Amino acid sequence: MIRPRYATQFNINGESVLLSISASFRGADNLSFLLHKHPDRFQTFDMSFGKAHVFYREASDERVTACLLLDVDPVGMAKKHRGQSGQLAGYVNDRPYVTSSFMSTAIASIFGSAMAGRCNDRADAVNTPMDLTIQLESLPVKGGEAFLRSLFEPLGYDIEAHGAALDERFPEWGESPYFSVRLRANRLLCEVLNHLYVLIPVFDNQKHYFVGLDEIEKLLSKGEGWLAMHPCRDAITRRYLRHQGGMVRQAVQRLKADGGEIREDDEDDIPDASSVILPTSSLNEQRYESVARELVRSGGTRVIDLGCGDGKLLRRLMQKKQFTDIVGMDVSVRSLEIASKRLRLDSLPPRQAERIRLMHGSLMYRDTRLSGFDAACLVEVIEHLDPPRLAAMQRVVFQHARPQTVIVTTPNVEYNVMWESLPAGNYRHSDHRFEWTREEFQAWSTTVANEHGYTVRFEGIGPEAEGVGTPTQMAVFRCRDEVFGEATGEPS
Ligand code: SAH
């Protein structure tokens, strides 16, 4: 059902300050529930700077588009704050026409429950990633398109950005700082809203209100789970806190400490335990991200990373408050030493130290220490085991440890033709004992699932190429003992 009434009431493609969020496919019908805004209603909210309107531009089974339109009243504000700002600047400025910190304020106040991931009616949907498209109009970006990309791309967004000349008749005036931006991602709605809340004023490099100490708390709470690991963490923090040195230092220190986190640029001195020559680091990032997301979605709190290597996934799991007991296990002592250094286990604050531990062990032998976990993952591990020994691992994991969820990733050998630097017939890593096609992996996983009373579903990770699929393949196993009636159980 399209709602032209609202679309024509406002000039929504013109210079209004508009944010739209569209969900398609499976997520579509969840969007309005998660936003706590009924698709048939047009709602108006009084804000300190004017008014905010929420309405739906479309709401069908396949696609739902929610719009947040700001009606900024510069005259009212200038009167309210008479004498605080420059006389004329209070009345004549770009604020009514651009996506600025007013938008962040409106998001937090109108979509507060969605940002916090609260939705009693659709509790499962909160933790289910959706195909989302976000449209931001007139976003002022100090730093241009490159800066825009450097902030959104590490968070997994596809970006389309359109800038324009300040005035086409005078090209020598240069580019306008205003961009029309379309973002696409398969993410949780609450993650997207938190990203927008923090980043919109960061692009703009201004805020409409005084930045006090409580801004640190806001930044850390809205940045939870992503900011500490963002390659532009410091730039984001500086701009968000309006370059107030003391506050920036305090925030950065807390971000570092919070997850026992080290920066990507500190990692150069740490040899990579798996010494994977291929694939690219961004694929590795996507893989850790996908596995972390599945673990969150499993609803478990006690998780174990089997064959954790040098702890890159563990570091991400530390960022998720849901996990109260995070364990990394590996057969390689050297890898565990690197993981310990990467996670800064020696200097973690006690609250964090209680949540994580590393253990030396092997997937070949039954081990009672592996029992009692809600979820386990084996990320790029099975291909390091000799095929005849896979059966031992299967018994250890699926029969004895028997967590409710098991996530396994492995290379998809069909995709290898896409890497020109990889000679035909070679594996991606010299230690790989095999690499499977999608059919081989699915056949093995289905047999394991049937033998041990699990269901299994499959997902690709990384860019999909025609005919060969994605570079990484993932299987998500759920134990049948518990699976029925579980929120996310999806027998395949
Ligand atoms: N999961 C990590 C590391 C993958 S490399 C990541 O994705 O970054 C494969 C890891 O499996 C190595 O760290 C290796 O030491 C570990 N491994 C290999 N055989 C193992 C076994 N039998 N038991 C436990 N770990 C094993």
Distance 385 CA to ligand 1 centre (A): 9
Tell me what the mean pLDDT of segment 432-443 comes to.
Answer: 95
Lowest mean pLDDT among 169-183, 224-238, 269-283, 367-381: 269-283
Report residue 307's pLDDT band, with 50, 70 and 90 as the boundaries. very high
Q: How many CB atoms lie within 10 A of CB 440?
A: 16
Residue 474 scores a pLDDT above 90? yes
Q: Are 451 and 476 in contact (CB under 8 A)?
A: no
Distance 313 CA to ligand 1 centre (A): 12
Tell me what the mean pLDDT of segment 9-35 comes to.
Answer: 73
Mutating to test ligand 1, I would choose from 295, 333, 384 the residue with most ligand atoms within 8 A of its C-beta, which is 384
Q: Are 376 and 306 in contact (CB under 8 A)?
A: yes
CA distance 187 to 197: 15
For 83-120, how does the pLDDT look when each residue is reduced to its tens digit (9 = 90+)? 444 455 555 556 566 677 888 989 999 999 999 998 88
Most confident residue range from 41-45, 47-51, 275-279: 41-45
The predicted pLDDT at position 4 comes to 39
Mutating to test ligand 1, I would choose from 277, 305, 381, 394 the residue with most ligand atoms within 8 A of its C-beta, which is 381
Residue 417 scores a pLDDT above 70? yes
Tell me the average pLDDT of the chain.
Answer: 82
Report residue 139's pLDDT band, with 50, 70 and 90 as the boundaries. confident
Report residue 14's pLDDT band, with 50, 70 and 90 as the boundaries. very low
Report residue 8's pLDDT band, with 50, 70 and 90 as the boundaries. very low
Closest CA to 286 of 403, 380, 149, 420: 380
Residues in the chain: 492
The predicted pLDDT at position 208 comes to 62
**H-only helix segments in 28-143:** 28-35, 74-80, 101-110, 112-116, 123-126
Report residue 432's pLDDT band, with 50, 70 and 90 as the boundaries. confident
For 397-411, how does the pLDDT look when each residue is reduced to its tens digit (9 = 90+)? 999 999 999 999 999
The predicted pLDDT at position 308 comes to 97
Mapped onto helix, strand or coil, the DSSP state of residue 290 is helix
The ligand 1 atom at the shortest distance from the C-alpha of residue 362 is 23
Ligand 1 pocket, Cβ-based, cut-off 6 angstroms = 273-274, 307-309, 312, 330-332, 335, 362-364, 379-381, 384-385
The predicted pLDDT at position 260 comes to 42
pTM: 0.51
Distance 381 CA to ligand 1 centre (A): 5
Mapped onto helix, strand or coil, the DSSP state of residue 84 is coil
Q: Are 45 and 52 in contact (CB under 8 A)?
A: yes
Secondary structure letter of residue 176 according to DSSP: -
Mapped onto helix, strand or coil, the DSSP state of residue 25 is helix
Mention every residue, 6+ apart, whose C-beta is less than 8 A from residue 324: 301, 302, 355
Q: How many alpha carbons lie under 13 Å from residue 296 in its C-beta half-sphere?
A: 25
Tell me what the mean pLDDT of segment 162-184 comes to.
Answer: 77
| The two structure tokens encoding residue 372 | 């009692």
For 311-341, how does the pLDDT look when each residue is reduced to its tens digit (9 = 90+)? 999 999 998 999 999 999 999 988 999 999 9
C-alpha torsion angle, residues 116, 121, 127, 133 (rounded to 10): -80
Torsion sign over Cα 207, 265, 331, 435: positive
Report residue 492's pLDDT band, with 50, 70 and 90 as the boundaries. very low
The ligand 1 atom at the shortest distance from the C-alpha of residue 379 is 1
For 121-131, how does the pLDDT look when each residue is reduced to its tens digit (9 = 90+)? 888 888 888 89
Mutating to test ligand 1, I would choose from 270, 272, 274 the residue with most ligand atoms within 8 A of its C-beta, which is 274
Lowest mean pLDDT among 218-227, 247-256, 309-318: 247-256
Report residue 377's pLDDT band, with 50, 70 and 90 as the boundaries. very high
| The two structure tokens encoding residue 461 | 């990770």
CA distance to 42, 53, 55, per residue, from 37 (Å): 9, 11, 8
The residue whose C-alpha atom lies closest to atom 15 belonging to ligand 1 is 332
Q: How many alpha carbons lie under 13 Å from residue 69 in its C-beta half-sphere?
A: 22
The predicted pLDDT at position 249 comes to 86
Residue 44 scores a pLDDT above 80? yes
The predicted pLDDT at position 97 comes to 66
The predicted pLDDT at position 270 comes to 31
Tell me what the mean pLDDT of segment 127-153 comes to.
Answer: 88
The predicted pLDDT at position 491 comes to 34
Mapped onto helix, strand or coil, the DSSP state of residue 216 is helix
The predicted pLDDT at position 176 comes to 72
The ligand 1 atom at the shortest distance from the C-alpha of residue 380 is 4
Instruction: Say what percent of the chain tops pLDDT 90.
Output: 45
Tell me what the mean pLDDT of segment 413-417 comes to.
Answer: 90
Secondary structure letter of residue 171 according to DSSP: G
